[in-house]
């Protein structure tokens, strides 16, 4: 019971940090569960379940404070979810080690970009086809659909193959290339993470990999972390959220690279 309590505390800390930055944190959850002695399939399944409930907990906080652009999520998330299915289906034909190493490099790049650009700079383009002008909760920004939809589709394909949510790439896409304010990007990402994780969980559930007995204490810790992480996100300056996002993204890259090297 001591070990379960310890791991629940670790899950709680991960949930707080990941919810603050609008990411799923699948890498961290799966690694923690594997260290608990779970098989990779069981860890991936329970990790997805934790992702769902953590994201939903944060989503409740973000929705209440008008930080989720639901219309934006409904436009750019379906390509991720659809391609995540194909990524999972085709994953057996791709070297997992090579895929993880490439993805790690991209994570580092995403984190470094977020460190360099620390100010929100809304895109101001003339109205033309494929550029969606949005006004939400007092913010105005332009979503480049020609860029957003293909990128989210590619992210979904890679995320499905690796069993992660892809939030590490969606937030830089929204903030740096679509001018979405960091608080709105984090809230919107939390909604998309929940949807992507739900699809992945159902896929694993059909294979009987879910361990409900172990899930209860860990899920309680994760849900509490999701609520608290959402509250912290509301009180943290956007520039600091970007720094936290960048640092945790680079750390996640390190975890994925280590996993690739030892697998």
- Say if residue 119's pLDDT is above 80: no
Give the pLDDT confidence score for residue 244 in this predicted structure: 83
Residue 225: which pLDDT band, with cuts at 50, 70 and 90?
very high
Of the pLDDT bands very low, low, confident and very high (cuts 50, 70, 90), residue 236 is confident
| pLDDT score of 230 more than 70 | yes
Helix (H), strand (E), coil (C) string for 26-65 = HHHHHHHHHHCCCCHHHHHHHHHHHHHHHHHHHHHHHHHC
DSSP state of 178: S
- Residue 12 confidence (pLDDT): 93
pTM: 0.78
- Asked if residue 132 lies in contact with residue 71, where contact means CB atoms within 8 angstroms, the answer is no
- At 120 the pLDDT is 47
Q: Hey, where are the domains in the chain?
A: 2-262
Percent of the chain clearing pLDDT 90 (strictly above):
9
pLDDT digits (tens, 9 = 90+) for 208-220: 667 777 778 888 9
Highest mean pLDDT among 60-69, 94-103, 203-212 belongs to 60-69
User: Could you tell me the pLDDT band of residue 237, with boundaries at 50, 70 and 90?
Assistant: confident
Q: With b meaning 16 or more CB within 10 Å and e meaning fewer, what string describes 22-31? A: bbbbbbbbbb
The whole-number average pLDDT for the span 250-255 is: 78
Token pair, residue 18, equals 């990941």
List the beta bridge partners of residue 144: 131
pLDDT of residue 224: 94
């Amino acid at each position: 019971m001591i070990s379960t309590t310890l791991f629940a505390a670790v899950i709680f800390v991960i949930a707080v940090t990941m919810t603050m930055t609008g990411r799923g944190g699948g890498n961290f959850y799966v690694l923690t569960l594997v260290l608990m002695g779970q098989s990779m399939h069981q860890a991936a399944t329970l990790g997805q379940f934790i992702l769902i409930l953590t994201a939903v907990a944060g989503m409740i906080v973000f929705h209440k404070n008008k930080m989720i652009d639901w219309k934006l999520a409904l436009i750019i998330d379906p390509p991720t979810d659809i391609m995540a299915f194909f990524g999972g289906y085709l994953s057996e034909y791709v070297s997992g080690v090579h895929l993880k190493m490439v993805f790690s490099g991209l994570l580092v790049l995403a984190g470094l970009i977020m460190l360099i650009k620390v100010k929100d700079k809304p895109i101001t383009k003339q109205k033309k086809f494929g550029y969606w002008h949005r006004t939400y909760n007092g913010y105005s920004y332009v979503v480049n659909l020609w860029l957003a939809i293909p990128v989210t589709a590619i992210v979904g394909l890679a995320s499905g193959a690796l069993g992660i949510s892809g939030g590490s790439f969606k937030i830089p896409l929204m903030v740096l290339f679509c001018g979405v304010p960091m608080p709105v990007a984090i809230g919107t990402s939390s909604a998309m993470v929940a949807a992507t994780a739900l699809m992945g969980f159902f896929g694993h559930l059909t294979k009987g990999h879910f361990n409900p007995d172990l899930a209860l204490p860990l899920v309680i810790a994760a849900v509490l972390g999701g609520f608290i992480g959402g509250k912290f996100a509301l009180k943290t300056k956007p520039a600091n959220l970007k720094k936290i996002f960048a640092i945790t993204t680079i750390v996640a890259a390190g975890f994925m690279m280590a996993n690739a090297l030892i697998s």
